[in-house]
Amino acid sequence: MGTALGAIASIVVGGAVATVTIIGLVSGSVNSGSDNPGDITSPTINYGSTSSAAGE
Amino acid sequence: MSRPLPNEPAPAADRFGWLPLAWAALLTLVLLGPALGRGYVLSYDMVWVPDLALRSDFLGLSPALPRAVPSDAVVAVLDAGGTGMLLQKLVLLGTPLLAAAGAVRLVGASTVARMVAVTVTVWNPFVVERLWIGHWPVLLGYAVVPWLVVLGRRVRDAAGVPLALWFLLPLGCLSASAGLVSAAALLVSAAGAPARRWAGLAALCLAANAPWLVAGATHAGDARTGTGSSVFGLGPDGAVPAPLAALGLGGIWNAEVVPGSRDGAAGWLWGAVVVLLAALGARAWWRRERRADAVGVAVLWLAGYGLAVLTWAAPGATSWLGENLPGGGLLRDGARSLALCLPLLVSLVASGAEVVVARAGGRVAAVALAVACTLVPVALLTDAAWGIGGALRPAHYPAEYAAARSAVVAAAAGRDGDLLVLPFTSYRAPDWNGHRKVLDPLGRYLTPNYLASDDLAVSGDVIPGEDPRASSVRAALRLPSATDRAEALGRLGVRWVAREADAPAADNPVYDAAVAGRTIHDGQRLEVVEIRSPVAVRDQSRTELVATALAWTAFAALPLVGAVTLVTRRARRMVTGEETTATVRR
């Protein structure tokens, strides 16, 4: 009984992770929005920002 | 067919032995996506041009810190004939594959261990963030770390230098920080070897790092980082605090290149899953591994993690190093040392996956858990896919760049002098690159030694650069007339001035000003002027030239020795093979 439940749980976990991965990858390819366009109104373009500044 | 290296587990005996490398290829393709299309991926520090011209500054003769030594010179040699685009694709594609192929040699022989090793090596915050910020030499250094660990163990156990080492060591030393990581990986893994053998390896490391070491030693006295460089230390990765993020190879200083998923629960879960699997696998791994091997990767992990966390815990120390120690600024980006954590992390996580799968009841359950362990790092970082959600889309240089280059090539024939790039700011966000940020590529696109601003704006604060000529350029730009500016710049060794009309600071008097001279290119985006005033061409001392030549000879000797050894071995094998065939026929 315990083995059967363990097997079912394993299959559910494996299936869930696989599904989440595929959905995530597909939605990531459709909604690609990771650009960080530079602020071209400022004379110097930021190389980056630290987390503390980004959170401000 | 390559022979397995000693200390390396036997190839997976089952019929799925091909699967890990096929998985690595698939993951790499999904990770890069559009980045592999036609054009140049220009993202932050990743600057590739069609044909990078070799120039003396790339060899380390510039007064600035050798941040792109020897990577620029190596690219300039390899992309001859306008193959820069192809070379960039090869680097982008080859780096994760190389890392994955090395990682599978560190873990158990089971397919599940190798699949998980591939995922954790290719799909993690370190790879994604360094790719986005464009630190490709750092990524190459990361990719050779597992190989150097395996090769170091081999040298420790048997005499002779493995053939692969002649090629992989210089590949891992294309920047200062990558070179230090590579040297540490090799030398720590070879600890316990006879002293003479270990010293030989240390000499090879010195040769592989010689170009930037010599450049740093000859110029670093003038090239000190200004205040504020502590911002480049290890930082939080989205919502995950820095020391915890570093456990999962995250923690780059620049929040802009951290994928959005790291801000939410997925960021925490990524680290939690990796640490949990590592904890589960630690005991089995410790029992299975040879003591010296286990201690070696543990020492590397401690060094990598410790250095990274130090830049977070004691940011003042990083700043002090940059300001007071010549060349200290090269080491300010603390999270780069996390590449040293890869061998232990990947070994433990793969071992943990084996433990989990072994507990499954039945074959189907085991397969399901193996799939879960293999995919979960991807599932928790899906926004890395497709060139980090499109952030790595390739771009094409405007046709005008080629016209300006031709004009400069014609004007520069037989004449020395530097090219000044204006506006005197370091970063651009050109419309033809989708306004994505990139270190100004114009200097690399044109052919002379160039002088560009190396000040960096971070969160609005400017971190002063290291080139001692920069302040003189700024002073020259403030002079009242175009003729005065030309004369002052000529005294600095500047013969050509390239001005980018579409840069944000164009015509801003702080960063840009007209310079008198002969216009050799006048286009919509670019203007190149040749200064007619006397130009004081930079002089290199004989000592500096000799030292640089020796350093490059040492560096180039490594792959050359490797190539000669390879050819000799092949020839010997062919002769032996022919003799054997002849004997059989007789």
Question: For B189-214, what is each residue's pLDDT tens digit?
Answer: 999 999 999 999 999 999 999 999 99
Nearest CB partner across the interface for A54, out of B255, B379, B426: B255
Q: Which residue has the tokens 């928790």?
A: B380
Tokens of B146: 């597992």
The span from the CA of B105 to the CA of B111, in Å, is: 12
Nearest CB partner across the interface for B459, out of A17, A37, A49: A49
Shortest distance between the Cα of A12 and any Cα of chain B, in A, equals 8
pLDDT interval class at A55 (50, 70, 90):
very low
> Looking at residues B471-497, what average pLDDT do you find?
96
The span from the CA of B427 to the CA of B133, in Å, is: 13
Question: For B410-430, what is each residue's pLDDT tens digit?
Answer: 999 889 999 999 999 999 999
Question: For B73-128, what is each residue's pLDDT tens digit?
Answer: 999 999 987 799 999 999 999 999 999 999 999 998 899 999 999 999 999 999 99
Interface contact A53-B386, CB threshold 8 A: no
Flag whether residue B472 sits within 8 Å of chain A, measured between CB atoms.
Answer: no
Q: Is B518 helix (H, G, I), strand (E, B) or coil?
A: strand
pLDDT interval class at A7 (50, 70, 90):
confident
Q: Which stretches of B457-541 are DSSP H helices?
A: 470-477, 482-491
Question: For B221-265, what is each residue's pLDDT tens digit?
Answer: 665 665 667 889 999 999 999 999 999 999 999 999 999 999 999
Nearest CB partner across the interface for A17, out of B375, B455, B456: B375
Flag whether residue B480 sits within 8 Å of chain A, measured between CB atoms.
Answer: no
pLDDT over 90 at A5, yes or no? no
Interface contact A46-B427, CB threshold 8 A: yes
Instruction: Give Cα separations from B524 to B400, B404, B434, B435 (angstroms).
Output: 8, 11, 18, 18
Interface contact A38-B362, CB threshold 8 A: no
- Please give the pLDDT value at position A32: 61
> Looking at residues B340-366, what average pLDDT do you find?
94
Judging by beta carbons within 10 Å of its beta carbon (0-12, 13-18, 19+), is residue A38 exposed, middle or buried?
buried
Please choose, from the candidates B72, B161, B162, B46, the residue with its C-alpha nearest in 3D space to the C-alpha of residue B433. Answer: B46
Report how many Cβ contacts below 8 Å link chain A to chain B.
182
By a Cβ cutoff of 8 Å, what residues of chain A touch chain B?
A: 2-4, 6-7, 10-11, 13-18, 20-21, 24-25, 27-29, 31-51, 53-54
Interface contact A50-B255, CB threshold 8 A: yes
Q: Is A34 helix (H, G, I), strand (E, B) or coil?
A: coil
B428: β partners: B438
- For residues B292 and B215, the answer to whether their CB atoms sit within 8 Å is no
Query: Quick one: which H or E segment has residue B394?
Result: strand B394-395
**Percentage of the residues of chain B whose pLDDT score is greater than 90:** 80
Flag whether residue B460 sits within 8 Å of chain A, measured between CB atoms.
Answer: yes
Amino acid at B255: A
Q: Is B191 helix (H, G, I), strand (E, B) or coil?
A: coil
Flag whether residue B483 sits within 8 Å of chain A, measured between CB atoms.
Answer: no
- For residues B555 and B539, the answer to whether their CB atoms sit within 8 Å is no
User: Considering only CB atoms, which chain A residues are within 8 Å of B228?
Assistant: none
Shortest distance between the Cα of A33 and any Cα of chain B, in A, equals 6
The span from the CA of B107 to the CA of B96, in Å, is: 17
- Please give the pLDDT value at position B6: 45
> Looking at residues A15-26, what average pLDDT do you find?
91
Amino acid at B320: W
Question: What is the signed CA dihedral for B65, B67, B69, B74, rounded to 10 degrees?
Answer: -150
Question: For B128-174, what is each residue's pLDDT tens digit?
Answer: 999 999 999 999 999 999 999 999 999 999 988 999 999 999 999 99
Please choose, from the candidates B110, B192, B182, B199, the residue with its C-alpha nearest in 3D space to the C-alpha of residue B139. Answer: B182
- For residues A45 and B437, the answer to whether their CB atoms sit within 8 Å is yes
| A51-55, B75-79, B86-90, B530-534: segment of lowest average pLDDT | A51-55
Shortest distance between the Cα of A1 and any Cα of chain B, in A, equals 11
Closest residue in chain B to residue A1, using alpha carbons only: B361
Interface of B with A in 404-433 (CB under 8 A): 423, 425-429
CA atoms in the 13 A half-sphere facing the CB of B190 = 31
User: Considering only CB atoms, which chain A residues are within 8 Å of B240?
Assistant: none
Q: Which of A27, A44, A49 to mutate to test the interface with B (most CBs of B within 10 A)?
A: A44
- Interface predicted TM-score (ipTM): 0.88
Q: Is B13 helix (H, G, I), strand (E, B) or coil?
A: coil
What average pLDDT does the structure give for chain B? 92
pLDDT interval class at B298 (50, 70, 90):
very high
pLDDT over 50 at B585, yes or no? yes
Judging by beta carbons within 10 Å of its beta carbon (0-12, 13-18, 19+), is residue B474 exposed, middle or buried?
middle
Please choose, from the candidates B297, B266, B177, B164, the residue with its C-alpha nearest in 3D space to the C-alpha of residue B565. Answer: B164
- Please give the pLDDT value at position B4: 46
Shortest distance between the Cα of A9 and any Cα of chain B, in A, equals 8
Q: Which of B381, B458, B508 to mutate to test the interface with A (most CBs of A within 10 A)?
A: B458
Flag whether residue B372 sits within 8 Å of chain A, measured between CB atoms.
Answer: yes
